Chain A
Amino acid sequence: MRRRLGLAALLTPPMLWLVVAYLGALVAIFATAFWTTDPFTNLVVRTFTLDNFRELRTPTYLGIIGRTILIAALVTVLCVVVAVPFAFFMARVAPARSRSLLLALVLVPLWASYLVKAYAWRAMLQPSGVLESVFGTTPGYGFAAVVITLSYLWLPYMILPVYAAFERLPESHLEASADLGGRPWTTFRRVVVPALWPAIAAGSVFTFSLSLGDYIAVSIVGGKLQVLGTAVLQNITLDLPFAAALGTSSVVVMVLYLLAVRRAGALENL
């Protein structure tokens, strides 16, 4: 009896948190998405309707959703392209002594404020900013700026799992591949990439989902660019049910992405 009480005491707070705060909020979003607003008073009217989702299928919002997915995908690809060689260098080339230093360098930006980093990029990207004075050109505020800034922000989430995967990859597997006649490129393609694949997928869950929901960096360096996050923000006071529908669409995209990743057999490493 006492054991049961103890167990109940142990599990009640997290269960409450999970059910009320976590699932509750999610259910509230889903439910709200099927309501509507009174056009005169802007108050939520609790009658069931699919209008919000119909409006999502207009070219404007399909464009916004498509653009957001494209940004998230580009950010993920960019992070992979930068993280794989970097993690390789950290885990395999750099002397053991400097490894912890490099790891710290990767982690330090995570401890700095998100806003500071986004504004730093705003300063770098502005006309006659660092980029223009060094390279003679700057993409300016907009799509490219958002992709670059988000890639910078989420890069550590890709480097860390890929680095761990490189660390776990035994030297003897690379030697075995060479021993069996595999040249470096073959070894990379057939032995290294499959070993990294789960880590890349795990990292991409972070880079993709964080990019999908971001609106702050977009509003700082995106100029007039509209993405899901900014659209939700604009609608949240005027038309809460429609904002909820937009939010639901990003949840759906993320669930589809996770299912695809799971099919690739990579979620065990998350």
Chain B
Amino acid sequence: MTATPPPAIRLDRLRKEFTGTPPVVAVDDVDLDVGQGEFFSMLGPSGSGKTTVLRMIAGFEEPTAGRIELDGEDVTRRQPYDRDVNTVFQDYALFPHMTVADNVEYGLLVKKVSRAERRTRVAEALEQVRLGDHGARRPSQLSGGQRQRVALARALVNRPRVLLLDEPLGALDLKLREQMQVELKAIQRDVGITFLFVTHDQEEALTLSDRIAVFNAGRIEQVGTAREVYESPRTAFVAGFVGTSNLLTGEAARTVVRRDGSFAIRPEKLVVTPVDGTAGAAAPGRPTATGVLEEVVYGGPTTRFVVQLDAGARLTALEQNSGSGSAGAALRRGDRVRLDWDPEHVIDVPETTSK
């Protein structure tokens, strides 16, 4: 045996069925290893099972079958209070009758940590989330972002092996959310604790994570780094859920890609050129397709073009508004355009996962 440490979290054929007629399979035999100190995201639409997996790791739901290991230790049948993990809840779940400091102190108090140590650790934790002078307030006197940070401090103060975060930024507005993402990442680097992060926001997952597991219908479709999941999605679902989907299937695939199957092309890899006789031909070797411009959406740094191809499919192209040279400024709805791309950016995506 080598001396490699066991994974922080190991899920072994984890399964959860909810009773009903017929029973609902929320989590369908999931296997997953999360490494020590990783920032790991579980990404998927609502109902894909990612939150149920998180709740089983926390101990709030009992698995129907399978095993959960933390640092190589089987915790499948343990109560939440006997597991060395802490959770940041979606609604924060701060105790309203306690002050901020009492909330943060709670975990240490029930674990009978000495008063002196409690005081230092609570102060440290509040300092870490930049709420050092808010300890005496009530949760109801804080803003959403501040409550979020209290929830984080309340979990981190216990120095768990794994921190579970259940869509913790979901209730925040966009600006605050982006700010908290940066902060969350910095805190994670700082404390070095494994973070398991649940989100349905693909951009958030791509920004924050060392690795991502993409969930669909109770299964994991793909596990990989942000770059792997985005640049080389293994299934049509991953291609569609992570980033804007540009799928070519059936007849359209045969005409445009000249092969049978399903293919995806990321919008930013497509180049839009007007077809008005003035533009030159595409660079030799680059595949092209023509169509009608259906929609031009100006979005600040980028412009989004929706093109209805003559071959049938509809593709979205994204172009940087980098200067006067960009084609976007001149194009109008209804114009005929040509799309061209580098063949290596065409991703082969099987329609269904192999079981």
| Residue positions of A touching B, CB distance < 8 A | 170, 172-173, 175-183, 186, 190-191, 194-195, 197
State the CA gap A116–B195 with chains docked (Å). 64
Does A175 lie within 8 Å of B87, measured CB to CB? yes
Does B89 lie within 8 Å of A181, measured CB to CB? no
Q: Which residue from chain A places its CB closest to the CB of B84 in the assembled complex?
A: A181
Between A and B, 29 residue pairs with Cβ closer than 8 Å are: A170-B91, A170-B93, A172-B89, A172-B93, A173-B93, A175-B60, A175-B87, A175-B89, A176-B87, A177-B110, A178-B59, A178-B79, A178-B80, A179-B58, A179-B80, A179-B85, A180-B86, A180-B106, A180-B110, A180-B154, A181-B81, A181-B111, A182-B110, A183-B81, A183-B110, A186-B110, A194-B95, A195-B97, A197-B97
Restricting to B73-123, which residues have a CB under 8 Å from any CB of A?
A: 79-81, 85-87, 89-91, 93-97, 106-107, 110-111
Q: Which residue from chain A places its CB closest to the CB of B107 in the assembled complex?
A: A180
Is B194 in the interface zone, CB < 8 Å from A? no
State the CA gap A194–B95 with chains docked (Å). 10
**Nearest CB of chain A from residue B5's CB, rounded to whole Å:** 24
Does A173 lie within 8 Å of B95, measured CB to CB? yes
Q: A179-B87, A180-B107, A182-B110 known; 10 other A-B pairs, CB under 8 Å?
A: A172-B89, A173-B93, A175-B93, A176-B87, A176-B95, A179-B58, A179-B59, A179-B155, A181-B110, A190-B110
- Chain A residues near B94 (CB, 8 Å)? 176
Is B158 in the interface zone, CB < 8 Å from A? yes
| Residue positions of B touching A, CB distance < 8 A | 58-60, 79-81, 85-87, 89-91, 93-97, 106-107, 110-111, 154-155, 158
**Nearest CB of chain B from residue A210's CB, rounded to whole Å:** 28
- Chain B residues near A186 (CB, 8 Å)? 110
For the residues of A in contact with B, the DSSP-based class is: helix
Residue with the highest number of chain A CB atoms closer than 10 Å, among B59, B94, B97, B111: B97
State the CA gap A191–B86 with chains docked (Å). 17
Q: Which residue from chain B places its CB closest to the CB of A186 in the assembled complex?
A: B110
Does B158 lie within 8 Å of A180, measured CB to CB? yes
Residue with the highest number of chain B CB atoms closer than 10 Å, among A172, A180, A186, A191: A180
- Chain B residues near A170 (CB, 8 Å)? 91, 93
- Chain B residues near A197 (CB, 8 Å)? 97
- Chain A residues near B95 (CB, 8 Å)? 173, 176-177, 191, 194
Does B111 lie within 8 Å of A194, measured CB to CB? no
- Chain B residues near A178 (CB, 8 Å)? 59-60, 79-81
- Chain A residues near B107 (CB, 8 Å)? 180-181
- Chain A residues near B60 (CB, 8 Å)? 175, 178-179
- Chain B residues near A180 (CB, 8 Å)? 81, 86, 106-107, 110, 154-155, 158
State the CA gap A32–B94 with chains docked (Å). 53
**Nearest CB of chain B from residue A259's CB, rounded to whole Å:** 21
**Nearest CB of chain B from residue A270's CB, rounded to whole Å:** 18
- Chain A residues near B155 (CB, 8 Å)? 179-180
State the CA gap A235–B290 with chains docked (Å). 103
**Nearest CB of chain B from residue A7's CB, rounded to whole Å:** 35
Known: A182-B81, A183-B81, A195-B97. A177 touches B89 (CB 8 A): no
**Nearest CB of chain B from residue A174's CB, rounded to whole Å:** 9
State the CA gap A179–B80 with chains docked (Å). 5
Q: Which residue from chain B places its CB closest to the CB of A176 in the assembled complex?
A: B93
Does B91 lie within 8 Å of A172, measured CB to CB? yes
- Chain A residues near B97 (CB, 8 Å)? 194-195, 197
Does B87 lie within 8 Å of A177, measured CB to CB? no
Does A176 lie within 8 Å of B89, measured CB to CB? yes
State the CA gap A179–B79 with chains docked (Å). 9
State the CA gap A177–B90 with chains docked (Å). 15
Residue with the highest number of chain B CB atoms closer than 10 Å, among A181, A186, A191: A181
State the CA gap A186–B79 with chains docked (Å). 14
- Chain B residues near A194 (CB, 8 Å)? 95, 97
**Nearest CB of chain B from residue A175's CB, rounded to whole Å:** 5
3 closest A-B pairs by CB: A180-B107, A172-B93, A176-B93
- Chain A residues near B93 (CB, 8 Å)? 170, 172-173, 175-176
Q: Which residue from chain B places its CB closest to the CB of A180 in the assembled complex?
A: B107
**Nearest CB of chain A from residue B198's CB, rounded to whole Å:** 14
**Nearest CB of chain A from residue B28's CB, rounded to whole Å:** 24
State the CA gap A7–B110 with chains docked (Å). 57
Does A179 lie within 8 Å of B86, measured CB to CB? yes
- Chain A residues near B111 (CB, 8 Å)? 181
**Nearest CB of chain B from residue A182's CB, rounded to whole Å:** 5
State the CA gap A194–B94 with chains docked (Å). 13
- Chain A residues near B90 (CB, 8 Å)? 172
- Chain B residues near A176 (CB, 8 Å)? 87, 89, 93-95
Q: Which residue from chain B places its CB closest to the CB of A178 in the assembled complex?
A: B80
State the CA gap A195–B107 with chains docked (Å). 18
Residue with the highest number of chain A CB atoms closer than 10 Å, among B59, B91, B110, B155: B110
State the CA gap A190–B103 with chains docked (Å). 11
- Chain A residues near B154 (CB, 8 Å)? 180
State the CA gap A195–B98 with chains docked (Å). 11
State the CA gap A167–B59 with chains docked (Å). 23
State the CA gap A72–B111 with chains docked (Å). 39
